[in-house]
Amino acid sequence: SDLGTPLIIGPVFRPLIDRLQISRQKLAFIIDSTSSPVAILVPFIGWGVYIMGLMSQEFTAVGLEQNEFAAFVQTMPFQFYAWLAVGMVPLMTVLKLDFGPMQKAEISARQDTHSSPAKAESDGNEIKGFTHANARPMLVWVPLAVLAGVLCWQLVPLGFPLKPVSGSLFRAGLSSAYFSAAVTLITLMALLRVRPVLQSIDIYLKGMTNMTLVAVTLLLAWALSDIGRSLGADVFISGVTEAALPVWLLPAVIFVLSAMLSFATGSSWGTFAIMFPLAIPTASLVGAPLYACMGAVLSGGLFGDHSSPISETTILSSTGAGCAQIEHFRTQLPYALFNGMISLGGFLL
């Protein structure tokens, strides 16, 4: 999960990076670069399910006989920004590619590990993990094993991963696996007397309510798609595109528009909901490379999620790392822009 990772990884590694005299800004960068950029590449978590839902709606509306899972997989090579963001982490840590504000933060961390502005402003808001004397590692690996087992039990007979699986069956398998893992965890915590059953169920239900916004966003995206199609927006945009732009330039334009929208709003999912109903019909009508255009939407949306100062992952990564939010934004932006320019070049080629 892109939202859970920063709050889990940050507090765990914060004491270690302080001891190694590494800046918390770099920890925040590493956390941010391995949360949403990784999540967007995985089809069986919330990101993948949401994206495939948007794809399925547009494929049906345009009349494309495409399987959304297969389309998601075929779009992966064009998710340039995600691959670059993840790949930057080992390059940065092994080769010490520090420049701009990040270089200054690293110098400051080596000179004084206890009084940097990033730490001084954030120490009062650091996340403290839940601890219990009866907690055991099995509380982590047993539910994960159940999740994987149920998922395989549901999908392997359908041919997964060698054959495409319909989106509805895939999502049903995911729901069954998640629910089974949750029941397993609740049962284990009750048996080990870590949390009472009712308290665990209450936490589970609160987590479900957090997904309400996702469901509403998806419904609104489908509504926006239908309204735009009724107004002829896809035909109008494709006509303007054919008249004003060469077809090969369309993925780059989609990437730039998606990046600007996501940076301004701080929402990658909102950007996907707006851009997919425009990009897929337009690409289909003008004969542009469909997977490259969908990859441009995903890459552009991820750029804003990764670099915007108001993005949820930016806020959570800085919180988890114990770093001031503005410091994380300042030190990460040059790397995000660098990856963004390379991504743009990829869509132009």
Would 100 be classed as within a structural domain? yes
Specify whether 118 is located in the same domain as 143.
Answer: no
Query: If the chain, 349 residues long, is cut into consecutive pieces of 10 residues, what is the mean pLDDT of each piece?
Result: 71 86 92 92 84 89 86 94 94 84 90 53 50 80 92 85 70 84 93 91 81 66 69 65 77 93 86 89 89 96 89 84 90 94 94
Go through 157-188 and write b for each residue having 16 or more CB atoms within 10 A of its CB, e for each that does not.
Answer: eeebeeebbebeebbebbebbbebbbebbbeb
Would 199 be classed as within a structural domain? no
Would 200 be classed as within a structural domain? no
Domain enclosing residue 31, as ranges: 4-126+212-348
- Of 290, 271, 285, which Cα lies nearest the Cα of 241? 285
Distance CA 215, CA 204 (A): 17
Looking at residue 62, its pLDDT comes to 85
Specify whether 156 is located in the same domain as 245.
Answer: no
Looking at residue 135, its pLDDT comes to 79
Specify whether 19 is located in the same domain as 92.
Answer: yes
131 CB-contact burial (10 Å; exposed 0-12 / middle 13-18 / buried 19+): exposed
Given a contact cutoff of 8 angstroms between Cβ atoms, the answer to whether 306 and 313 are in contact is: yes
Q: Determine if the pTM surpasses 0.85.
A: no
Structural domain count of the chain: 2
Looking at residue 239, its pLDDT comes to 67
- Of 145, 199, 141, which Cα lies nearest the Cα of 177? 145
Q: How many CA atoms does the CB half-sphere of 196 hold within 13 Å?
A: 3
Give the amino acid at 313: T
